Amino acid sequence: MNLEKTVVISKNDPRLASAHQKTGPDVSTSVRSDSEQRVRLGAETNDFAILPLQFPELNVPQLADRRRTKKTLSRTQPGIGLKLLASLAIWSASLGITTVNSAVGKENHPASGQRPKVIDSRGVGGSLILAGGGNLDQSIKDRFMELAGGPKAKLVVIPTASTTADTPDTDHGAAWRTFNPATLSVLHTRERSRANEPDFVQPLREATAVWISGGSQSRLADTYVGTAVEQELQALLARGGVIGGTSAGAAIMSQDMIANGKSSPNMGTGFDLLPGAIIDQHFVARKRQPRSLQAVKDHPGKFGLGIDEGTAVEVTGRQMRVMGNSTATITLGPSSNRPSRVFAVAANDIIDLTSLRRAAIARAGPEFPAVAANAPKVASGSLLIIGGGGVTENMVERFIRLAGGDQAHIVVLPTAVDDSVSRQAGIPSFLRDQEVKTIQVLPQRWPNEVNSPAFVEALEKATGVWFGGGRQWRFIDAYQGTKATDLFNGVLARGGIIAGSSAGASIQAEYMVRGDPLGNQVVMAEGYERGLGFLPGVAIDQHLTQRGRLDDLRSVVKRFPQLLGIGLDESTGILVAGSKAEVLGEHAVFFLDHSEAKESRLEEGQVYDLRRRQVIKSKHE
Whether 420 and 358 map to the same domain: the answer is no
Which pLDDT score, from 0 to 100, does residue 163 have?
A: 94
Which pLDDT score, from 0 to 100, does residue 571 have?
A: 98
Q: How far apart are CA 225 and CA 218, in angstroms?
A: 10
Q: How many domains does the structure of the chain reveal? A: 2
Element (H, E) at 175: helix 174-177
| 397-424 mean pLDDT | 96
Residue that finishes a domain, picked among 296, 331, 364: 364
CA angle 494, 499, 505 (to 5 degrees): 135
CA angle 352, 117, 557 (to 5 degrees): 70
pLDDT over 80 (residue 115):
no
pLDDT over 80 (residue 464):
yes
Which pLDDT score, from 0 to 100, does residue 533 have?
A: 98
Whether 394 and 359 map to the same domain: the answer is no
Q: How far apart are CA 166 and CA 191, in angstroms?
A: 12
User: CB under 8 Å to 473, separation ≥6 — which residues?
Assistant: 515, 516, 517, 525, 528
pLDDT over 80 (residue 580):
yes
Which pLDDT score, from 0 to 100, does residue 534 have?
A: 98
Whether 421 and 305 map to the same domain: the answer is no
Residue 44 lies in a domain: no
3-class DSSP state for residue 385? strand
Residue 501 lies in a domain: yes
What is the per-residue pLDDT across 414-441, written as a single tens digit (0 to 9) for each?
999 999 999 987 899 999 999 999 999 9
Residue 319's beta-bridge partner residues? Answer: 316, 352
Residue 109 lies in a domain: no
What CATH number does the domain containing 499 carry? 3.40.50.880
Residue 393 lies in a domain: yes
pLDDT over 90 (residue 168):
no
pLDDT over 90 (residue 92):
no
CA angle 568, 506, 468 (to 5 degrees): 100
Q: How far apart are CA 62 and CA 64, in angstroms?
A: 7
pLDDT over 50 (residue 90):
no
Does the CA dihedral 170-173-177-182 come out positive or negative? negative
Which pLDDT score, from 0 to 100, does residue 116 have?
A: 57
Among 160-174, 340-354, 505-519, 547-561, the least confident range: 160-174
On whether the CB atoms of residues 455 and 449 are closer than 8 A, the answer is: yes
Which pLDDT score, from 0 to 100, does residue 38 have?
A: 35
Element (H, E) at 177: helix 174-177
Q: What is the pTM of this model?
A: 0.83
Residue 595 lies in a domain: yes
Instruction: Give the phi and the psi of residue 375 in degrees, each rounded to 5.
Output: -65, 135
Query: Quick one: which of 515, 567, 518 has its CA closest to 538?
Result: 567
Indicate the pLDDT class of residue 60, thresholds 50, 70 and 90.
very low
What is the per-residue pLDDT across 320-341, written as a single tens digit (0 to 9) for each?
999 999 999 999 999 989 999 9
Element (H, E) at 188: strand 183-188
Q: How far apart are CA 522 and CA 303, in angstroms?
A: 20
Range of the domain at 303: 2-7+119-364
Q: At what angle do helices 217-224 and 228-238 cross, to 10 degrees?
A: 100
Indicate the pLDDT class of residue 509, thresholds 50, 70 and 90.
very high
What is the per-residue pLDDT across 514-572, written as a single tens digit (0 to 9) for each?
999 999 999 999 999 999 999 999 999 999 999 999 999 999 999 999 999 999 999 99
